[in-house]
Chains A and B, each alone.
Chain A
């Protein structure tokens, strides 16, 4: 997937190109901190020293490898071509955000509304907003898709939160 569009060689390095290195270094830093904390503060009788050493050593390894291999100069030309565009057209960017919001909404609604209503909501919004179907079409598809889900889960005995629709 990395070969579709030729990239401009003089691309300026943005904060984005440093992001992977920074995220990995953050993870490494947290691990080193946790490792030291376990080694220094916990009662030796708890036999936690190995637990500390393990994350400490891994944290150091991660810090070294990411500082070495994730420098933007070292990683140029390895990613998806899409990464070079300023995150696509605005409408696509909106689609991505809506999609992420839908997963978050599903997590938030599953416990309270139950899996049926949460599923109906997510599917409907996706069809209407991202796929751009009309009201009628979206409604019909929503009903059909969720009917299949409900039948599948009920038949296979999978227990999902019933939420307010329980009976």
Chain B
């Protein structure tokens, strides 16, 4: 069929033309078309929201559309591997975070080298919050620790699959206070939002989640936040002490959101992107949007970021040894 040959020839010609155009891309002309920003979570979670705020600002900064594309599933492996296998041309980026980088370093079934990617920059991070039920007998941090120590088998904590920083915040809490994590009852949930509901309803004793997940329920009095990780208070959770204030500076689990690219992204493009990301972190509307969901701007780029993530991974490894398995 001659027509098929003709169509095929036209397709090949088009492919050739576009590949030439791609090769000519330099930092000066980048970006010249829309960028795909892959979020390895379903829409609506904390990382997704932060990534959307970031994408919006990045789009203004770079002058091209930045499309948020959700590729959820399989402990973020699907999203990450789709970015890894894309061309390193700066048009496919990953909304990276601990769950899609350092934690993956602990999972035995990740089919690629987790560190083999171009870490461009992180732009936001936020603390976790530890919560107990408003009607529970525990009034504060010390009460919970005491109860959990007395009877770890009867102590129920929320658990979201072991591949999130919230779970590591829980593990860190248990480790810090000398509670045997392997004896505590871990109750499965799909998201930190569900954990918060269960704690508020009194279904489970204790939960951890990104700070924003407790904003609403803490206002009803059904949920009692007992501590924030790290040393910075959160405006919407006024009166909740930080772990540092309570004398536990070791409880510093934070979650972060940034930009990564496939391995082999040219250096000049990486620099240009990192500068753009750093710029948006100072944008007031972005800061406001981040603040509203319990995050604050925190810029770290290039090798500093990689070193930071490596360090994070080693800490996660130590924590997960407590429960005998990775994740």
**In-complex A–B contact (CB below 8 Å):** yes
CA distance A46 to B182 in the complex (A): 9
Q: Which residue from A135, A159, A164 sits with its C-beta under 8 Å from B15?
A: A164
A47 within 8 A of B: yes
With A117-B11, A135-B3, A164-B15: A46-B325 Cβ-Cβ less than 8 Å = yes
Task: Name the distance in Å between B130's Cβ and chain A's nearest Cβ.
Answer: 22
Task: Name the distance in Å between B149's Cβ and chain A's nearest Cβ.
Answer: 20
Measured as residues with beta carbon below 8 angstroms from the partner, the interface class of chain B is 10 to 19
Give A128-167 interface residues, CB cut-off 8 Å to B.
135, 159, 164-167
CA distance A113 to B67 in the complex (A): 19
The binding surface of chain A is classed by DSSP as helix
Task: Name the distance in Å between A151's Cβ and chain B's nearest Cβ.
Answer: 17
Q: In chain A, what residue has the closest Cβ to B162? A: A46
State whether B325 touches A113 (Cβ < 8 A).
no
B14 proximity list for chain A (CB < 8 A): 164-165
B247 within 8 A of A: no
A113 proximity list for chain B (CB < 8 A): 11
CA distance A113 to B10 in the complex (A): 12
B224 within 8 A of A: no
B91 proximity list for chain A (CB < 8 A): 166
Number of A-B contacts (CB under 8 A): 28
Give B303-327 interface residues, CB cut-off 8 Å to A.
323-325
CA distance A166 to B69 in the complex (A): 16
B219 within 8 A of A: no
Give A30-56 interface residues, CB cut-off 8 Å to B.
43, 45-47
A46 proximity list for chain B (CB < 8 A): 324-325
State whether A159 touches B67 (Cβ < 8 A).
yes
Q: Which residue from B3, B69, B324 sits with its C-beta under 8 Å from A159?
A: B69
Give B1-21 interface residues, CB cut-off 8 Å to A.
3, 7, 11, 14-15, 18-19
B254 within 8 A of A: no
State whether B324 touches A166 (Cβ < 8 A).
no
B33 proximity list for chain A (CB < 8 A): 166-167
Task: Name the distance in Å between A42's Cβ and chain B's nearest Cβ.
Answer: 9
B291 within 8 A of A: no
The interface centre, meaning the residue of B69, B182, B186, B325 with most chain A CB atoms within 10 A of its CB, is B325
Give B204-234 interface residues, CB cut-off 8 Å to A.
none
Q: In chain B, what residue has the closest Cβ to A125? A: B4
State whether A164 touches B18 (Cβ < 8 A).
yes
A47 proximity list for chain B (CB < 8 A): 186
State whether B69 touches A43 (Cβ < 8 A).
no
State whether B323 touches A45 (Cβ < 8 A).
yes
CA distance A154 to B199 in the complex (A): 43
Task: Name the distance in Å between B99's Cβ and chain A's nearest Cβ.
Answer: 19
Give A16-75 interface residues, CB cut-off 8 Å to B.
43, 45-47
B36 within 8 A of A: yes
CA distance A113 to B8 in the complex (A): 11
With A159-B67, A159-B69: A45-B18 Cβ-Cβ less than 8 Å = no
A117 proximity list for chain B (CB < 8 A): 11
A159 proximity list for chain B (CB < 8 A): 36, 67, 69
Task: Name the distance in Å between A144's Cβ and chain B's nearest Cβ.
Answer: 18
State whether B324 touches A43 (Cβ < 8 A).
yes
CA distance A139 to B325 in the complex (A): 59
| CB<8 Å pairs between A and B, sample of 19 | A43-B325, A45-B323, A45-B324, A45-B325, A46-B324, A47-B186, A121-B7, A135-B3, A159-B36, A159-B67, A159-B69, A164-B11, A164-B14, A164-B18, A164-B19, A165-B18, A166-B33, A166-B34, A167-B33
Please name 19 further chain A to chain B contacts, defined as beta carbons within 8 Å, in addition to the given A43-B325, A164-B11, A165-B14, sorted by A numbering: A45-B182, A45-B323, A45-B324, A45-B325, A46-B324, A46-B325, A47-B186, A113-B11, A117-B11, A121-B7, A135-B3, A159-B67, A164-B18, A164-B19, A165-B18, A166-B18, A166-B33, A166-B91, A167-B33
